[in-house]
């Protein structure tokens, strides 16, 4: 069965195609919307240092491990675990659940980005002093953000239902480099504003007093979120990877691209933010307020740049959310034998309901809470602060303790034909260091965080999945 599956697997057309797809999944709202505001809320430079440590020690190793598991088994996440050991199916299923929950708020923000593309030409930039209030009013409104979210989700639905993600990947090949160039341009504008230096020192002069258990957990969770790790997405991508490709070097490339975009987003936003005298701790509105403010000061050319920026951000978001939706849809197709269209319509419908709740929780339904948080935060915190990190920990344990070392070595060196000099380092990190490190960070993070009951609820969900592992 597994052999047959393997033969049916198509390979990526080219190395570039694979890298763009994996980087397309990784680079998204996580880098440009989420990373800057988390940095702002968690004190700046110190958060970035902790984040970079998480990326290098944990992220890179887990990315390599996910590629190896995917290519070795030739199967998507749930199947990959199941094919090795049925007691582990739940770890794959946890990934599917994470993808599902992330899609409970991601399209809301994708919708904001879509809306801002249009708002850029309909007067948003004409009144720079009102940009902050406009954002607050917009996301809390009962109808408008819902309409944009539905449009955004519908784009995902059409593409996933037809199984033609290739089209959007083509768009990504043009728009991702565009985003990169635009970020460079914005950085240039941002650092040359009077008063920008304060932003640079906020980014590069770590204030360690701002760091505690919950900051470290936030950095770890963000590393997983941003790199699309801990939920099987990169296992699935690895399963399509050609046997000749060098896995560790591909992992390094994707990680380097993702991290550069995040740091660039920080460099684009903070100097301007300080130059405008705004607050770094303003939360999710950061990119939607600071970037239009930069463009507003530039006249009509600013309008054009703003449209292109939000178009590129929307496409970056799409290449990520497609991979999220695909993880859920692929599970229903592979494991529950559902036709692709049914699976896509069903998941999209449920995601739409979750997103409506998330969007309304920022406005009219702000008083409705479960475990002390609204729907948006519920999905966000549950996935980012617990599911992904635990998903990564489970993967590390699985690879380190339940797969054969020789098999891993064989896979990572393409049967001994390419060199992976750091194999022993990687293996020991995955087997010993990462599981312990994640457990420690999760423990101290949960004790320091305000939403303890939500975190315990998350752990209970994982426990229930583990108990019913064989039924998933």
Token code pair at residue 111: 């919708």
Q: Applying CB under 6 A, which of residues 20, 21, 23, 26 lies at the interface with ligand PFF?
A: 26
Site for ligand PFF contains 236 (CB under 6 A): no
Smallest gap, in angstroms, from Cβ of residue 103 to ligand PFF? 10
Residue pointed to by tokens 């990373």: 35
Considering CB under 6 A, how many residues would be counted as binding ligand PFF?
16
Site for ligand PFF contains 233 (CB under 6 A): yes
Site for ligand PFF contains 113 (CB under 6 A): no
First to last CA, the chain: 18
Report the b/e string of 421-457 with b at 16+ CB within 10 A: eebeebbebbbebbbebbeebbeebbeebebeebbee
Which residue, 50 or 103, has its beta carbon nearer to ligand PFF?
103
Smallest gap, in angstroms, from Cβ of residue 95 to ligand PFF? 8
Q: Which of these ranges, 22-30, 77-85, 121-129, 151-159, lies near ligand PFF under the rule CB under 6 A?
A: 22-30
Site for ligand PFF contains 30 (CB under 6 A): yes
Site string for ligand PFF, 343-382 (x = CB under 6 A): ----------------------------------------
Site for ligand PFF contains 289 (CB under 6 A): no
Please check whether residue 92 is in contact with residue 79, taking contact to mean a CB–CB distance below 8 angstroms: yes
Residue pointed to by tokens 């904001």: 112
Smallest gap, in angstroms, from Cβ of residue 237 to ligand PFF? 10
Q: Which of these ranges, 126-134, 223-231, 240-248, 430-438, lies near ligand PFF under the rule CB under 6 A?
A: 223-231
| Rounded Cα gap, residues 379 and 356, in angstroms | 12
Burial category of 215 from C-beta neighbours within 10 Å (exposed 0-12, middle 13-18, buried 19 and up): buried
Residue pointed to by tokens 């720079």: 128
Closest CA to 266 of 12, 10, 42: 42
Site for ligand PFF contains 120 (CB under 6 A): no
Q: Applying CB under 6 A, which of residues 12, 21, 28, 45 lies at the interface with ligand PFF?
A: 28
Which residue, 134 or 393, has its beta carbon nearer to ligand PFF?
393
Smallest gap, in angstroms, from Cβ of residue 30 to ligand PFF? 2
Which residue, 25 or 358, has its beta carbon nearer to ligand PFF?
25
Site for ligand PFF contains 21 (CB under 6 A): no
Which residue, 266 or 302, has its beta carbon nearer to ligand PFF?
266
Report the b/e string of 163-191 with b at 16+ CB within 10 A: eebeebbeebeebbebbbebbeebbebbb
Under DSSP, the state recorded for 10 is: P
Site for ligand PFF contains 294 (CB under 6 A): no
Site for ligand PFF contains 241 (CB under 6 A): no
Smallest gap, in angstroms, from Cβ of residue 236 to ligand PFF? 9
Q: What is the DSSP string of 251-315?
A: HHHHHHHHHHHHHHHHHHHHHHHHHTT--TT-GGGHHHHHHHHHHHTTTHHHHHHHHHHHHHHHH
Site for ligand PFF contains 44 (CB under 6 A): no
Residue pointed to by tokens 């409104």: 141
| Rounded Cα gap, residues 199 and 33, in angstroms | 17
Which residue, 80 or 231, has its beta carbon nearer to ligand PFF?
231
Smallest gap, in angstroms, from Cβ of residue 29 to ligand PFF? 4
Q: Which of these ranges, 13-21, 199-207, 318-326, 415-423, lies near ligand PFF under the rule CB under 6 A?
A: 318-326
Q: Which residues pair with 370 in a beta bridge?
A: 373
Cα–Cα distances in angstroms (integers) from residue 343 to residues 228, 240, 311, 469, in the given order: 22, 21, 28, 21
| Rounded Cα gap, residues 186 and 205, in angstroms | 22
The helix (H) or strand (E) run that includes residue 203 is: helix 197-204
Residue nearest ligand PFF (C-beta atom): 30
Which residue, 120 or 228, has its beta carbon nearer to ligand PFF?
228
Query: Which residues form the interface with ligand PFF (CB under 6 A)?
Result: 25-26, 28-31, 99, 102, 225-226, 228, 231, 233, 320, 323-324
């Amino acid at each position: 069965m597994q052999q047959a599956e393997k033969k049916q697997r198509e390979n990526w057309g080219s190395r570039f195609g694979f890298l763009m797809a994996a980087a397309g999944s990784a680079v998204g709202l996580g880098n440009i919307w989420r990373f800057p505001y988390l940095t702002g809320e968690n004190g700046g430079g110190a958060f970035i240092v902790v984040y970079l440590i998480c990326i290098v020690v944990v992220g890179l190793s887990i990315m390599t491990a996910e590629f190896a598991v995917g290519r070795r088994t030739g199967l998507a996440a749930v199947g990959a675990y199941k094919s090795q050991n049925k007691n582990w199916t739940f770890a794959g299923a946890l990934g599917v659940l994470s993808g599902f929950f992330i899609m409970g708020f991601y399209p809301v923000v994708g919708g904001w980005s879509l809306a801002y593309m249009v708002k850029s030409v309909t007067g948003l930039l004409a009144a720079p002093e009102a940009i902050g209030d406009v954002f607050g009013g917009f996301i809390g409104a009962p109808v408008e953000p819902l309409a944009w979210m539905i449009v955004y989700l519908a784009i995902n639905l059409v593409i996933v239902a037809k199984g033609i993600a290739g089209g959007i990947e083509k768009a990504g090949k043009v728009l991702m480099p565009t985003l990169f160039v635009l970020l460079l341009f914005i950085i240039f504008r941002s650092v040359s504003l009077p008063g920008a230096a304060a932003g640079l020192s906020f980014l590069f002069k770590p204030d360690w007093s701002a760091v505690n258990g919950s900051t470290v957990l936030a950095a770890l969770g963000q590393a997983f979120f941003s790199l699309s790790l801990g939920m099987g997405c990169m296992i699935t991508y690895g399963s399509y990877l050609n046997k000749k490709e060098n896995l560790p070097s591909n992992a390094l490339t994707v990680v380097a691209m993702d991290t550069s975009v995040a740091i660039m987003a920080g460099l684009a936003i903070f100097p301007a933010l300080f130059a405008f005298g705004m607050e770094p701790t303003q939360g999710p509105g950061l990119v939607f307020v600071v970037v239009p403010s930069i463009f507003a000061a530039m006249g009509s050319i600013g309008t054009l740049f703003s449209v292109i920026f939000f178009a590129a951000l929307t496409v970056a978001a799409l290449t990520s959310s497609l991979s999220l939706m695909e993880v859920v849809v692929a599970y229903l197709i592979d494991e529950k034998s559902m036709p692709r269209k049914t699976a896509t319509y069903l998941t999209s419908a449920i995601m739409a309901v979750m997103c409506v709740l998330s969007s309304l929780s920022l406005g009219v339904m702000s008083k409705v809470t479960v475990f002390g948080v609204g729907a948006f935060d519920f999905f966000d915190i549950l996935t980012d602060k617990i599911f992904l990190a635990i998903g990564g920990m489970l993967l590390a344990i699985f690879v380190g303790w339940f797969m054969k070392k020789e098999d891993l070595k064989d896979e990572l060196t393409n049967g001994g034909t390419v060199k992976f000099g750091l194999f022993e380092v990687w293996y020991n990190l995955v087997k010993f260091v990462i599981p312990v490190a994640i457990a420690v960070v999760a423990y101290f993070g949960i004790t320091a965080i305000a939403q303890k009951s939500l975190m315990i609820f998350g752990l209970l969900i994982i426990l229930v999945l583990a108990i019913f592992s064989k039924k998933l």
